[in-house]
Amino acid sequence: MSQLHIKSNVNGDDVEFLCEPEETLLEVLRDRLNLTGSKEGCGTGDCGACSVTMNGKLVCSCLVLGVEADNSKINTIEGMADGDKLHPLQQKFLDHAALQCGICTPGILVAAKALLEKNPSPSETEVRYWLAGNLCRCTGYDKIIRAVMDAAEEMRG
Amino acid sequence: MSPLNNNSQARQFKVIGTRPPRPDGIEKVTGKAQYGADLNVANMLFAKILRSPHAHAKVLSIDTSAAERLDGVKAVITSKDFDRFSSGQPNNILENSIAHQKVLYDGHGVAAVAATSDLIAKSALKLIKVKYETLPHVTDVDKAMEKSAPIVNKGYVLENVPKGHSENVTSYFEFGHGDLEAGFSKAEKIVTRSFKTEATHQGYIEPNACLASMTPDGKADLWCCTQGHYNVRAVCAEIMGMETSQLKVTASEIGGGFGGKTLIYIEPIALALSLKSGQPVKLVMTRDEVFKATGPTVSSSMDVKIGMTKDGKITAGEAKLRYQGGAFPNGTVEMGAQSAFASYDLKAVKTQGWNILTNRPMQAAYRAPGAPQAIYAVESVVDELCEVLNLDPLETRLKNAAKKGTLSSYGPTFDDIGLIATLEAAKNHPHYSAPISKNQGRGLSCGFWFNFGGDTCVTLNVNFDGTIGVTEGNPDIGGSRASISQMAAEEIGIAYEKVRTIIADTNSLGHNEITDGSRVTFAVGLATIKAARAAIKEMCKRAAMIWNIDEEAVRWENGSAIPAGPNAGKFDPLTIEEIAGMSSQTGGPIAGHHEVNAEGAGVSFGVHLVDVEVDKETGSSKIIRYTVFQDAGKAIHPSYVEGQMQGGAVQGIGWALNEEYIYGDDGKLQNPGFLDYRIPVASDLPMIDPVILEIPNPGHPYGVRGVGETSIVPPLAAISNAISRATSIRFSDLPMSPPKVLKAIKDKQRGNG
Amino acid sequence: MKYVAPSSAEEVSRILVGENGISKILAGGTDLLVQMKSGLIEPDLIVDIKKIPETKEIKSMDGGFRIGAAVSGSEVKDHTGLNRLVPGVVEALDLIGSTQIQGRCTMAGNLCNASPAADCVPALAAVEASANIVGPKGNRKCKIEEIPISPGKNSLKQGEFIVSIDIPDRPPHSSDAYLRFTPRTEMDIAVVSAAVALSLTKDGVCENARIVLGAVAPTILFVEDASETLIGTKLDEVSLQKMSDQCEAACNAISDKRGTISFRTEVSGVLAKRAAKIAYKRAGERS
Amino acid sequence: MVKVRIWGSLRSATKNKEFVYVEAENFKQLLDNLSKKYPNLKPQISRGVSVSIDGLIYKNSWFAPIKPNSEVVLMPYMVGG
């Protein structure tokens, strides 16, 4: 096994790391870069708890190799708030009690942000289908959908 | 959606019933909150568990030598490594974590490795050579009862099990009262039907994870995601032969549990690996392991017989419940047998329950364990009777509903309960009278759960600036820090923001029962209120010292000490800030604490109403509209009460429609992943409309009843009844997956259904 | 395990030929990484093809399109030309996995994975798409339906890989549709699926039809007699029913954890009928 | 004397009696005296029982008071989710 040297940009910061070729981006984020906000719920792309964006595209970081992050821009939950100012989605999740245990929350917030950047005024159905890859076992999704719709409305101004 | 206030309440609340932001919210929306797998420490090793590929086999030998020789491997253990700690008593938790002489199910742990990286640990597992002698297996509940079935695990049969069954039948329970035969003889119509439900998994999104560090002097620190770290300490200390005080367990944030994280699977293994390697060890399950080796629910086979008069009075009810809960015994079937008919006021009722062992993983509690299955069967038959007798299903339930003074089906007479109010709320809700379209059916079901209390400790510290620190010992699984802070603020008479509640490690408080049985808001809330009252008493005493009057002459109001009456003297109120600021000078820091085995939890009822549309060409069912009515006693933080009701309902929807453990003929689990174990996704669902009722629990100062579990009980029958009405076919087998529904429709069309 | 990311197709082929162990092509990775995670495969070499320019483009070609092997589902979904030409193929790709999977998964990957339940394969076969293969003995072109040969097995030879997929232009009044059955609305694998591509005359008479079923046989199933049944009709109920029955008759399904033989068989006909109606409506609207 | 309701399958230990009578002023005395009077109840009592006293379920509070006219029901010890 020989490790590869990767240069990437995570949440606006240039980073370099060494990783094994078989390590996933999720493992790199969590174990090498200490960004544990992205969660592993399944490791097979079925739960969305590890959602990040890679060059602006929403992906499951468990289904991306760490080496593929070379020369890429990665954005994770840790980069969502602007300093001490929460992103409107984060604030609306708190206001609507859209989280119970909170393990799916980082992935859902990252996914919802990607949605609103693509489609600032999604219908309820569009929100539900966009977020279908993010499992939540606590809430039944109701308050999550309301929070996303409300954040979208606020962001539209 | 605002809570209905059916009972006028003496107390006017200021903080209770509001919806403040949760104290741990920002950590959880920014990714800062640390869950089980999120902690890394210096010199840490990564552990992996080797698991059985067989459903049932003797372990002839385990050769770990090649794994031990692999570079980077620091420790390898098998069940033998635990022998030196053993008290000689069999320990089911340990035996379920790591097999002794036999592997009892597909995925049963056999050996474990700790290495310097996850990849090395994975490679080491492949180097462990295990020789098995496979044995015949059984995974079906009815087959496991047969005399000829392979015996799964010997020595567990209780003294009262009737003869004639396989040794897999380990316990038998019977409840009820009255004369069944006389009851059935009065019935206009009797319906008897058999039901089956498949096992489901709690499906928490965070796999079980822990980090253990143990030293040769017998001390250890353990970090883990659990519903009860005090229980983890008790169980692990016993397994490891440790004194309780030497094991400090800290609960991480917990990514869902629903009962599944009340059991212990990996912590003893991490401790043993840490002891052997001399390094901290992190052990995180994969999703595949979570499905194969952590607790699903029981699966069941049930017969229900109910008689009804033509005007809808139930004359007698009988249920036979056969539950399998894997390779070790459990106490689920007796709870099912007790709750089956709990919603009804019956003159004659009898329930029987058998627990059966199979080659499946040890079942764990899942929201109201045992109740959803039994109540699904009973509520389906009640609905069928309503249909054949042409009666309104809601009126019929009202006519038979349990109320204050009803002799319950499980023995005690009910005190104030909220079932009738809940049914009335459903009846008066626009959902019940809304029109439904072609291919749709409307279903209804009642649900019930006991709710628990149990050992609880709370310390409430009054800081010098008059703010409050509450220390409690129950992992916050869905917003309980908020509700506990609210109760402390309410009782003390200060703002919610002045209170911070933390979850203590096991060395900072006395024993706390697991976060289960919907107990936390009830029991921890009760202890918090009592702790606050103790602190208030002390603050009144300090005020009395300052004013130089009798302690009894001081009253507490709105966060201040005031003279109790005109005779006490004329003094300006002393605020909590002032008293706290002077506390060093008046005797020292002020705290209140309360330690109690909280009893009197008070039962909870719910009613669910659902409209389902069935695609008759594909057998696919779609939830069109869903309303939950539930008695919360008193909703402390209504948003999180609604969240429990919505979340439970959706778990029930998954159970009713698609979730199931699928075992192959080889006894292996076919679907250990979120792709083929289908929990509902956002696009499967409509909004879930919650209606909170508040019929105060006399056993709690604010009237709180547990709300976490009841909501999973009604969906199974509500959805089954809706599909049955949409298709004019009675369904009696869960899940109602499309192939099953389509087959029933086709059979009916072909005239053999 | 080794990881390489060559910048030309020829280099990929050379590297593949030179590797003695197990080598795997990485494009979207949505199947490969899952298989690696479960221990199903342990490659010695991973060849990432995303650095090869032609795998990343969608090119117009004589009214049709050439889609690079590393073009993701979401890129296809956002492509106006493809949506107009082959809406059925786009909806098939759009059904794979979740939004996150869409961001990575590729048609070529779906094809090479050779699952009988692969969503875009029936849809591609219905519109007579083909794959461009690069290999040690030069380049070749292959019909879509000839790539998967049995569950998990494809017909590519040592050193070969798919570099792009061609979707030819379609005559006027042609369109397609894809439907699948899954227990959940999203995040699921097709229990059974049907793709229908139709070409109509100006008057709405079916001139050409291709009906391809998924997950009802070891590979996708082009149902010739059912397709012919629709030709010369305006998709009246009688013809549709006959076509649906012929689809059911053609099925060679299995029972497994996702569905039974009878379910797959019965629903294949239902889906074929529903997809045909959609394709017919779309074809009528497309000049 | 307190009147105690015994659940169905436990009645094999009480000579098939649905109700038994024992002296008891609290939970502990109840269990102690039940064990004495009906030794066959012992295995279940040692595994754990809950007691409902006037409709409130007690899991293990020994000194929960029982009045002579209290409604007392023996129940299996329960665990939750």
- Position C241 confidence tier, pLDDT thresholds 50, 70, 90: very high
Mean pLDDT, range B496-522, rounded to an integer: 94
pLDDT at position B7 is 42
CATH 3.10.20.30 fits D2-76, yes or no: yes
Quote the percentage of chain B above a pLDDT of 70: 98
CB–CB contact B683 A128 (8 Å): yes
Kindly list the domain boundaries of chain D, sorted by start residue: 2-76
pLDDT digits (tens, 9 = 90+) for B257-276: 999 999 999 999 999 999 99
CATH architecture of the domain with range B45-135+213-285: Alpha-Beta Complex (3.90)
- Position B4 confidence tier, pLDDT thresholds 50, 70, 90: very low
pLDDT, mean over chain B: 95
Interface residue A129 vs chain B (CB under 8 A): yes
SS3 state at C189: coil
Interface of C with A (CB under 8 A): 1-3, 5, 26, 28-30, 33-34, 36-38, 46, 48, 50, 72, 74, 97-101, 103-104, 184-187
Quote the percentage of chain B above a pLDDT of 90: 92
Give the nearest partner residue to C260 out of B620, B670, B739, using CB atoms. B739
What is the spatial distance between Cα B67 and Cα B63, in angstroms, rounded to a whole number?
9
Q: How close, in Å, is residue C137 to chain B by CA atoms?
A: 37
Q: Please, which residues have CB within 8 angstroms of residue B566's CB and are 6 or more apart in sequence?
A: none
Chain D positions touching B368 (Cβ under 8 A) are 80-81
* Radius of gyration in angstroms for the set of CA atoms belonging to chain C, rounded to a whole number: 19
- Position B453 confidence tier, pLDDT thresholds 50, 70, 90: confident
What is the spatial distance between Cα B225 and Cα B108, in angstroms, rounded to a whole number?
21
Concatenating the DSSP letter of every residue in D16-72 gives: T-SEEEE--SBHHHHHHHHHHH-GGGHHHHHH-EEEEETTEEESS-TT-B--TT--E
Domains of chain C, first to last: 2-167 (3.30.465.10), 174-285 (3.30.390.50)
- Position D79 confidence tier, pLDDT thresholds 50, 70, 90: low
Q: Please, which residues have CB within 8 angstroms of residue C135's CB and are 6 or more apart in sequence?
A: C13, C156, C157, C159, C160, C161
pLDDT digits (tens, 9 = 90+) for A66-101: 999 999 999 999 999 999 999 999 999 999 999 999
pLDDT at position B8 is 39
Model confidence at C273: pLDDT above 90: yes
Kindly report the CATH number that applies to the domain delimited by A4-77: 3.10.20.30
Same fold yes or no, A4-77 and A88-156: no
How many Cβ contacts (< 8 angstroms) between chains A and B?
187
- Nearest CA to B726 out of B564, B612, B650, B639 is that of B612
Give the pTM.
0.97
Chain A positions touching B207 (Cβ under 8 A) are 40-41
Kindly list the domain boundaries of chain B, sorted by start residue: 45-135+213-285, 299-451+602-749, 453-598
Cis amide bond preceding B735, omega within 30: yes
- Position B159 confidence tier, pLDDT thresholds 50, 70, 90: confident
Chain C residue at shortest CA distance from B679 = C184
pLDDT digits (tens, 9 = 90+) for C34-75: 999 988 999 999 999 999 999 999 999 999 999 999 999 999
Laid out side by side, the sheet with B620-631 consists of B440-449, B604-615, B620-631, B688-693
Q: How close, in Å, is residue A157 to chain C by CA atoms?
A: 26
Domain covering B453-598, topology: Aldehyde Oxidoreductase; domain 4 (3.30.365)
Q: How close, in Å, is residue A145 to chain B by CA atoms?
A: 8
What is the spatial distance between Cα C46 and Cα C33, in angstroms, rounded to a whole number?
11
Model confidence at B101: pLDDT above 60: yes
Chain A positions touching B478 (Cβ under 8 A) are 100-101, 138
Question: A88-156: what CATH class?
Answer: mainly alpha
Mean pLDDT, range B424-432, rounded to an integer: 98
pLDDT at position B2 is 34
What is the spatial distance between Cα B613 and Cα B439, in angstroms, rounded to a whole number?
6
Contact criterion met (CB below 8 Å) for B622 and B723:
no
Mean pLDDT, range C269-273, rounded to an integer: 98
Chain A positions touching B682 (Cβ under 8 A) are 127-129, 131-132, 134, 136, 141, 144-145
CB–CB contact C266 B746 (8 Å): yes
**H helices within B325-436, ranges in order?**
332-339, 371-388, 393-400, 419-428, 430-433
pLDDT at position A1 is 54
pLDDT digits (tens, 9 = 90+) for B311-339: 999 999 999 999 999 999 999 999 999 99
Quote the percentage of chain C above a pLDDT of 70: 100
pLDDT digits (tens, 9 = 90+) for C177-198: 999 999 999 999 999 999 999 9
CB–CB contact C99 A130 (8 Å): yes
pLDDT at position B752 is 65
Q: How close, in Å, is residue B4 to chain A by CA atoms?
A: 20
Chain B residue at shortest CA distance from C261 = B739
pLDDT at position D81 is 59
pLDDT at position B682 is 98
Mean pLDDT, range B176-198, rounded to an integer: 98
Chain D positions touching B413 (Cβ under 8 A) are 54-55, 71
- Position B89 confidence tier, pLDDT thresholds 50, 70, 90: confident
Model confidence at B735: pLDDT above 60: yes
pLDDT, mean over chain A: 97
pLDDT, mean over chain C: 96
pLDDT at position B6 is 39
What is the spatial distance between Cα C275 and Cα C235, in angstroms, rounded to a whole number?
12
Q: Do chains B and C touch (3 or more CB pairs under 8 A)?
A: yes
What is the spatial distance between Cα B168 and Cα B425, in angstroms, rounded to a whole number?
45
CB–CB contact B286 A43 (8 Å): yes
Chain A positions touching B259 (Cβ under 8 A) are none
For B:97-136, CB contacts with A below 8 A are: 118-119
Mean pLDDT, range B697-725, rounded to an integer: 95
What is the spatial distance between Cα B270 and Cα B214, in angstroms, rounded to a whole number?
9
| Alpha-carbon distances, residue B9 vs B6, B393, B496, D15 (angstroms) | 9, 32, 22, 48
Using CA atoms of B223, B227, B231, B237 in order, give the dihedral in degrees to the nearest 10.
Answer: -30
CB–CB contact D57 B450 (8 Å): yes
Model confidence at B201: pLDDT above 70: yes
Interface residue D28 vs chain B (CB under 8 A): no
Chain B positions touching A146 (Cβ under 8 A) are 687
Task: Please give the structure tokens belonging to residue A18.
Answer: 């060494």
pLDDT digits (tens, 9 = 90+) for B32-69: 999 999 999 999 999 999 999 999 999 999 999 999 99
Domain covering B299-451+602-749, topology: Aldehyde Oxidoreductase; domain 4 (3.30.365)
CB–CB contact A133 B640 (8 Å): no
For A:13-52, CB contacts with B below 8 A are: 20, 22-23, 27, 30-31, 34-44, 46-47, 49
CB–CB contact A125 B683 (8 Å): yes
Model confidence at B1: pLDDT above 80: no
pLDDT digits (tens, 9 = 90+) for C77-92: 999 999 999 999 999 9
Model confidence at B375: pLDDT above 50: yes
- Nearest CA to C139 out of C107, C164, C113, C105 is that of C164
Rounded to two decimals, the ipTM of the complex is 0.96
Chain D residue at shortest CA distance from B365 = D81
Q: How close, in Å, is residue B657 to chain C by CA atoms?
A: 9
What is the spatial distance between Cα B105 and Cα B208, in angstroms, rounded to a whole number?
19
